[in-house]
Amino acid sequence: MTSSRSWRAVLFDWDGTLVDTAEASFRSYVRMFETFGIPFDRARYAETYSPDWHHTYRSVGLPGNRWSDADRVWLDFFAGEEAALIEGAADALRALTNRGIIVGLVTSGGRERVSRELTLLEVAAHFAHVVCGDDGPRRKPHPDALQHALEKLSVAPDEAAYVGDSPEDVQMAKAANVFAVAVPGAYPNAEALRAASPDLIASDLADAVRQLIGE
C-alpha cells in the first residue's frame, strides 16, 4: 500500500527508526540486569522487548522499587555506547524539510539522552518539535505524546504521518488517527510490527519517505 496524500507533517520515532541503538540497548540491558543478579540474553530480550522499558523490567521480575536505580545504571552503561544514524536517515529528513514538510519527533527516550544524540548526530535542526518520554504525556502506545506534538505543530491528525519501528508506534499513531508507517528495524519485534496492521509497511526509511512524498 502506498500513500497518495499530501502531508503537512511527518513525525518519527527515534530509537531503531532514525538512530541505530538496538545492539547498544541490548548490551546495556545485559550489563544492567547483571548488576541486579538477573540473567538476560537475546532470547529474553526478544520475549520482553518494548519501547516502554518498564515493561521489560516488569517482565523479568525486577521489583518496582528498583526501577529508578535500573534507569540510572542502564543510562550509565548506554552513555558509553556510540550512537549512529541508521543508513538513509539524514537524507530522509532532508528530503522532507526541503519540501517544506514539518518534521517532528515523538520518542519514549529520555530528553537528556535524546537531545545529546540529536546534537551529536547533527540532525536537531530538522525537528520543529520534539516530545520525549519524560516530558509528561503518557508513553506509547497511548496517543498523548503524539497528540501533544500535533497540537504544538498546529497540525491536524489527518494531515500527519508517523514513522516507527515498533507495534507500539503503530498503535499510538492509529489511536491518534494519524497515518501509521512501519519500518522494520533491528529490534526483535518484526512479527509483532506487521501484526499491528500499519497503514504502510516500508522496506527502509528511504522507501518510507519516497512513498510519503509520492516519488
Q: pLDDT for 93-123, tens place per residue?
A: 999 999 999 999 999 988 999 999 999 999 9
Q: How far apart are CA 63 and CA 46, in angstroms?
A: 20
Task: Give the chain's domain count.
Answer: 2
Residue 2 within a domain:
no
Q: Where are the alpha helices (DSSP H) in 103-188?
A: 111-120, 144-153, 167-175
User: What's the average model confidence in pLDDT over 34-38?
Assistant: 97
Give phi and psi for 144, each to the nearest 5: -50, -50
Instruction: Supply 14's cell numbers.
Output: 527515534
- Split at pLDDT 50, 70, 90, the class of 132 is very high
Residue 110 inside a domain? The answer is yes
Range of the domain at 45: 22-79
DSSP letter for each residue of 88-127: THHHHHHHHHHTT-EEEEE-SS-HHHHHHHHHHTT-GGG-
Verify that 70 and 147 share a domain, yes or no: no
Residues 176, 119 share a domain: yes
Same domain, 104 and 53: no
Q: Are residues 40 and 54 in the same domain?
A: yes
Are residue 133 and residue 105 in the same domain, yes or no?
Answer: yes
Q: What is the pTM of this model?
A: 0.89
Phi, psi of 185 (to 5 degrees): -125, -150
The residue among 100, 88, 112 whose CA lies nearest residue 163 is: 88
Residues 26 and 14 in one domain: no
Quick one: which H or E segment has residue 162? strand 160-164
Q: Is the same domain home to 112 and 75? A: no
- Check: CB of residue 200 under 8 Å from CB of residue 194: no
Whether 1 is covered by a domain: the verdict is: no
Is 117 domain-assigned? yes
Asked if residue 198 and residue 170 are part of one domain, the reply reads yes
Amino acid at residue number 131: V
> Is 3 within the bounds of a domain?
no
Which of 167, 145, 163, 166 is CA-nearest to residue 200?
163
Q: How confident is the model at residue 4 (pLDDT cuts 50, 70, 90)?
A: low
- Confidence band for 1, pLDDT divided at 50, 70 and 90: very low
